[in-house]
Structure 1
Amino acid sequence: MALSKAPAVRHERVDDASAGQRIDNFLVRVCKGVPKSHIYRILRSGEVRVNSRRVDQTYRVQIGDEVRIPPIRIAEKENAAPVPMGKPFDIAYEDDALLVLDKPAGLAVHGGSGVSFGLIEQLRRQRPEAKFLELVHRLDRETSGLLIVAKKRSALTVLHDMMRDGKVQKRYLTLVSGRWLNAQQHIKQPLLKYLLENGERRVSVNREGKPAHSIVRLVRRWAGYSLLEVELKTGRTHQIRVHLTHAGFPLCGDDKYGDFALNKQLEKEGLGRMFLHAAKLAFRHPLTDQQIELAAPLPAELDGFLAVVEQTREREYG
């Protein structure tokens, strides 16, 4: 680790993107690399001033506030690999408060847990002029489709409340192994997170878990396969994958909960990823209350595999 040069007093002006954020979280963001323990220490000591006055950690910054930050020496990682620029993301919707993009499969939404960077870090690299870009929700690394990113703190706060209250409608398309019978079925099974010995995260149906609710609709069925639309009423980790596998319908290509022997066969037939796509979003704009309804078509690799299934399997429904 190397130390940054000659730290000096900084003065940060609060803009619209940061308005309403707690001062401790504001400092964590603008003082990248500084431990939270140090942030809280300089707040308690009064070294941080807002408009020349002392504040505690619960103060929420307002537009136009001037924040004085004392000299802080930040440890910098040596030889840290820069985030690659990558290809521009397909944008389904954008205004000055938020954007919705079509995430490709195979890309984590953020860095961490052995992943040096993710979608949000890459998006910030592509848009250096953007003052605020934060994930509103997450998608699994293997899942493609619609993902909301906030461009203002005020939009992020409202969207988080909407997510918690079930006011953002999220619908996914997935191909599963098996003969799904019901046109519509509610799955309400509690889900519990746990860790494997190697530290990898997993989820299981467990009565001690958190409530989870999925609404499953049959779209099309062939001999041995079913194309389903799943509406999430809650947003638990791996919810669709665990609910459907527990019901006896593993997702095609799922390398965590799926049918591993079948996955090997599917790979030979052209399916090289998990068949799960965030296809539709519907919600009211967090700032204007305008109704927003978006759809993302199946990626070429999933659409192409469906064509193979259509040609080789007898259709039974739809």
Structure 2
Amino acid sequence: MQLQHTIEKAVPLQEIAEALMPATGAQIVTRGGAWLNGQRVTDPATPCQPGQMLALRLPPAGGYTDVVLQASDILYEDAWLIATNKRLGWYVNATPWDAQGHVLAALQRYLHARDGAAPPLHLAHQLDRDTSGVLLISREPAINAALTAAFAGGHVAKTYTCIVAGVPDASGEVRSGHGRSAKGLWRTYPLEEVGRELPSGGGRVKLAHTSYLRQRILEDAAQVQCTPHTGRTHQIRLHMALLGHPLLGDSRYGGPSVYAGISLPGHLLHAAHLALKHPHTQEVLAISSPLPDLLQRLLIP
């Protein structure tokens, strides 16, 4: 949700924001939700000029997400890399309404408090807001190109744990096309459509490939280990839904929002393990993340 306003007279940003939204205007600016002529502005004293377009972007109904990292959230650290244990509900990067409540900003704050300064940080990959687990971050710009190439080239082994609705086959593979729908949402396409040009600048249909292994049968559900061989957006979520077994909590793709009497805060997908050749030392680096409390609770026999 956003409010747009054309500036009529030269006044400081915060004065206009508070006039437009008396209860929340100042907080919107502080959190980074003010955009002036398409550029994020965080300084409340920024002078606004007549004719400029101001957009105030509001957070979702749940409000702002406050992310605070502690030493126990650091899974691995050396002079070049740092891996955090991302929690369900945490954004990994800034959103249009919030430049503070995400993992990258929280890690900068943590390192600054611990070390007196924070190095330039760069996300090696992305995790959805509700996907928990291993998140790898570069702390040395010299390795960024090699790290990006490793993920883009499929040289990083990733293993996910999820809980799906129903009971899938013991193991299997899913190969499909992947791209945006006419409404801009991610979807699968038939495999034979890989390479087809999508309308309205939507790019081409790309190959998506996932293998899975059923680990445990639950009550009308199952614990499944998934290995993505390509790195498409929402790939595991889409492929499990394509099989007729959407993730628990994944209402976007048909998953139930309640299981075993528990209201689920999001989809149950956990980045459990990540392995790659270290971009500096060239040694194999393997990082694991323990299952979050909610998954452990649901998996207790």
Note whether the superposition's TM-score is higher than 0.5.
Answer: yes
Alpha-carbon distance between aligned partners in 2 of 1:263 and 1:219, rounded to the nearest angstrom? 22
The 8 Å contact of residues 271 and 305 in structure 1, kept in 2 or not, is answered as no
Match of 1:86 in 2: 68
Structure 1 residue 76, shift from structure 2 partner: 5.3
- Name the residue aligned to 1:149: 137
User: Could you say if the C-alpha distance between residues 2 and 121 of structure 1 is closer, same or farther in structure 2, counting changes exceeding 3 Å?
Assistant: farther
Q: Which residue of 2 aligns with 1:222?
A: 218
Match of 2:230 in 1: 234
2:260 & 2:218 partners in 1: Cα distance? 18
Matched, 1:302 2:285: no
User: For 2:164 and 2:96, how far apart are their aligned partners in 1?
Assistant: 28
| Selected match of 1:248 from 244, 254, 277 | 244
Check conservation: 1:155, 1:287, Cα contact below 8 A: yes
| Number of the residue aligned with 2:111 | 127
Query: 1:103-114 to 2 correspondence within 5 Å?
Result: 103-114=86-97
CA distance in 1, matches of 2:98, 2:182: 18
Kept in 1, the 8 Å contact 2:178–2:186? The answer is yes
Greater C-alpha Rg: 1
Matched residue, 1:279: 272
Aligned equivalents of 1:76, 1:177: Cα separation in 2: 43
SS of the residue corresponding to residue 161 of structure 1 reads: helix
Per mean C-alpha deviation after superposition, the further-off stretch among 214-223 and 97-106 is 214-223
Deviation at 1:157? Answer: 1.2
1:114 maps to a residue whose letter is: W
Deviations 1:222-258 (A, max 9, x none): 3421211111111111111011101111100112113
| C-alpha displacement of 1:123 | 1.3
1:115 positional shift: 3.9
Instruction: Indicate conservation of the 8 Å contact 2:257/2:263, yes or no.
Output: no
TM-aligned CA distance change 1:85 to 1:243, over 3 Å: closer
The answer on whether the counterparts of 1:2 and 1:77 sit within 8 Å (CA) in structure 2 is no
- Determine if contact 1:179/1:223 at 8 Å carries over to the other structure: no
CA gap 1:36/1:222 in 2 versus in 1, 3 angstroms: closer
1:288–1:113 Cα change, 3 Å: same
Query: Which residue in the other structure is 2:53 paired with?
Result: none
Contact 1:281 1:294 in 2 (8 A): yes
Deviation (angstroms), 1:163: 0.7
Aligned partner letter, 2:174: I
Q: How many residue pairs align between the two structures?
A: 234
Distance change >3 Å, CA 36–CA 245, structure 1 → 2: closer
2:263 counterpart of 1:263: no
Are 2:194 and 1:210 aligned? no
The residue matched to 1:102 in structure 2 has which SS? Answer: strand
Letter in 1 for 2:44: E
1:22-33 matches, within 5 Å, as none
The runs of 5 or more residues in structure 1 that have no matched partner are: 4-32, 38-73, 311-318
What is the aligned-residue RMSD (CA, Å)? 3.0
Deviations along 1:9-58, whole A, 9 cap, x unmatched? xxxxxxxxxxxxxxxxxxxxxxxx99999xxxxxxxxxxxxxxxxxxxxx
Does the 8 Å contact 1:271/1:302 carry over to 2? no
Could you tell me which of 133, 136, 147 is aligned with 1:159?
Answer: 147
Q: TM-score, normalised by structure 2?
A: 0.70
CA distance in 1, matches of 2:41, 2:254: 43
**Which AA in structure 2 matches 1:300?**
D
- Give the 3 Å change call, closer, same or farther, for CA 75–114 of structure 1 in structure 2: closer
Residue number among 160, 168, 193 corresponding to 1:180 in the alignment: 168
Query: Which residue of the partner structure matches residue 292 of structure 1?
Result: 285
TM-score if structure 1 supplies the norm length? 0.66
Question: By how many angstroms is 1:304 displaced?
Answer: 0.5
Query: Does residue 168 in structure 1 map to residue 152 in structure 2?
Result: no
Shift of 1:193: 2.2
SS of match in other structure, 1:114? coil
Say which SS state the counterpart of residue 211 (structure 1) adopts: strand
- Aligned partners of 2:121 and 2:139 also within 8 Å: yes
Q: Which runs of 4+ in 1 moved over 6 A?
A: 33-37
Whole-Å Cα distance in 2 between the matches of residues 150 and 164 of structure 1? Answer: 15
Q: Is the 8 A contact 1:172 1:230 kept in 2?
A: yes
Judged with a 3 Å threshold, the aligned counterparts in structure 2 of structure 1 residues 214 and 161 are, in CA distance, closer, same or farther, namely: same
Q: What does residue 23 of structure 1 align with? A: none
Letter in 1 for 2:277: R
Instruction: Give percent identity, aligned residues only.
Output: 28
